[in-house]
């Protein structure tokens, strides 16, 4: 009777322990993403249960069904490759929590582990479960759309510049350099006035360049109108107004900075946002010797490019910025000084946005 009593009283305790252990489950899902396939590893840190699933990327419906059926609660970590965004936007409304894993740092933490799809996905899931997964910033959908638009427009700008370089090359070959800056309408006027003085083959080439310039300019104007409409609505107007108060910063520069930086408040200090943009100089220090190299060039090249364009404009139009430029140029040269101004402007933008204050003329220290 005593034994029965003990067993009787212990049965509810056993059920409670089993229920408690099931409630403690938290499933961590690591996704190793490639262009053709993805490999998902479902891992539970409390019981060590592991399962794998490989799905072709073209089977979008199957992918959505698989992640919708995951046991809960769960967190999904996607490897940060250049084409992760389609999967992110597909899974964001389906899974409970979604994070973006830094692929390079996660692989470094794997050590000498085998390099296979299953091992990579398991490594991400285990690091996520242990709270050691290095993560990257995944912009919200609104910011991602603006980023796509600004990069698209900036690509047209570089295409326009390449055609102009070809035009200048043809003109220089005839010892007729022409104007320093030119659009399609200016090149048309030039050809009508100076065309008879050029060889027929070069005239034909220049008219082809006119067609390319006119098309690119029309595409740039259309993209700029779309960008202008977007930055004036939603969550952008406040930050946009602060950024456009800076010298050398107009619509396109402000929109590109917003798109590439995203949330300014995620950076703890001005040095962090400088490192994010890759405008910080590399430092080599060892054995009591220190050498400062070129800038790191990490992060977005579009952000560095647009800040550099804004810096040159600010140098010409703002006295405080010009003083900084001249001081740095004396010891490091004009190009290095312009990069320093671009970095300084980005840190000023971070300070202004985090404080909610527009630009005020700064006195160079």
Domain that holds residue 243: 237-296+309-355
Q: Is residue 110 domain-resident?
A: yes
**Could you tell me the CATH number of the domain that includes residue 55?**
3.30.420.40
Contacts of 213 (CB under 8 A, 6+ apart): 160, 163, 164, 183, 184, 187
Pair (190, 249) in one structural domain: no
pLDDT over 60 at 1, yes or no: no
pLDDT of residue 295: 85
Alpha helices in 26-91 (DSSP H): 60-68, 85-91
pLDDT at residue 27 tops 50: yes
Residue 131: which of 111, 101, 107 has the closest Cα?
Answer: 101
Q: Are residues 249 and 286 in the same domain?
A: yes
Question: Considering its fold, how many domains does the chain have in total?
Answer: 3
Q: 282 vs 211, which has greater pLDDT?
A: 211
Q: Which residues contact 150 (CB under 8 A, 6 or more apart)?
A: 227, 252, 255, 256, 259, 260, 302
Question: Of 207, 231, 255, which residue sits at a domain end?
Answer: 231
How far CA 123 is from CA of 36, 51, 53, 59, in Å, comes to 20, 13, 15, 25
Asked if 220 and 260 sit in the same domain, the reply is: no
Q: What is the mean pLDDT of the chain?
A: 88
Give pLDDT tens digits for 256-294.
999 999 999 999 998 999 999 999 888 777 777 777 778
What pTM was estimated for this model as a whole?
0.85
pLDDT of the residue at 61: 95
Dump pLDDT digits (tens) for 111-147.
877 889 999 999 999 999 999 999 999 999 999 999 9
Same domain, 191 and 281: no
* 32 and 125 in a common domain: yes
Domain identity same for 77 and 147: no
Are residues 99 and 189 located together in one domain of the fold?
Answer: no
């Amino acid at each position: 009777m005593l034994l029965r009593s003990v067993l009787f009283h212990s049965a509810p305790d056993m059920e409670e322990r089993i229920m408690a252990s099931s409630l403690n489950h938290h499933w961590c899902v690591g996704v190793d993403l490639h262009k053709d396939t993805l490999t998902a590893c479902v891992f539970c840190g409390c019981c060590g249960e592991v399962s794998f699933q490989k799905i072709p990327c073209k089977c979008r419906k199957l992918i959505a069904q698989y992640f919708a059926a995951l046991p809960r609660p769960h967190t999904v970590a996607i490897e940060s490759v250049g084409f992760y965004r389609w999967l992110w936007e597909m899974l964001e409304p389906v899974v409970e929590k979604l994070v973006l894993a830094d692929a390079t740092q996660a692989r470094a933490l794997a050590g000498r582990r085998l390099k296979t799809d299953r091992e990579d996905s398991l490594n991400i899931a285990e690091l996520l479960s242990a709270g050691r997964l290095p993560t990257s910033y995944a912009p919200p959908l609104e910011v991602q759309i603006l980023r796509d638009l600004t990069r698209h427009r900036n690509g047209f700008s570089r295409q326009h510049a390449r055609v102009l370089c070809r035009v200048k090359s043809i003109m220089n070959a005839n010892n007729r350099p022409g104007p320093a800056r030119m659009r399609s309408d200016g090149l048309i006027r030039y050809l009508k006035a100076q065309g008879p003085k050029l060889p027929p083959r070069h005239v034909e080439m220049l008219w082809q360049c006119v067609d390319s310039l006119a098309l690119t300019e029309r595409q740039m104007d259309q993209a700029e109108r779309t960008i202008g409409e977007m930055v004036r609505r939603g969550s952008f107007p406040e930050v946009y107004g602060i950024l456009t108060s800076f010298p050398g910063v107009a619509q396109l520069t402000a929109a590109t900075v917003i798109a590439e930086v995203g949330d300014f408040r995620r950076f703890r200090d001005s040095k962090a946002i400088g490192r994010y943009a890759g405008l910080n100089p590399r430092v080599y220090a060892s054995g009591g010797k220190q050498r400062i190299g070129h800038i790191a060039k990490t992060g977005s090249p579009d952000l560095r490019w647009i800040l550099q364009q804004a810096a040159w404009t600010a140098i010409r139009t703002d006295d405080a910025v010009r003083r900084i430029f001249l001081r740095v140029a004396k010891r490091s040269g004009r190009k290095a000084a312009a990069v320093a101004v671009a970095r300084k402007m980005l840190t000023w933008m971070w300070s202004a946005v985090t404080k909610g204050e527009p630009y005020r003329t700064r006195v160079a220290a």
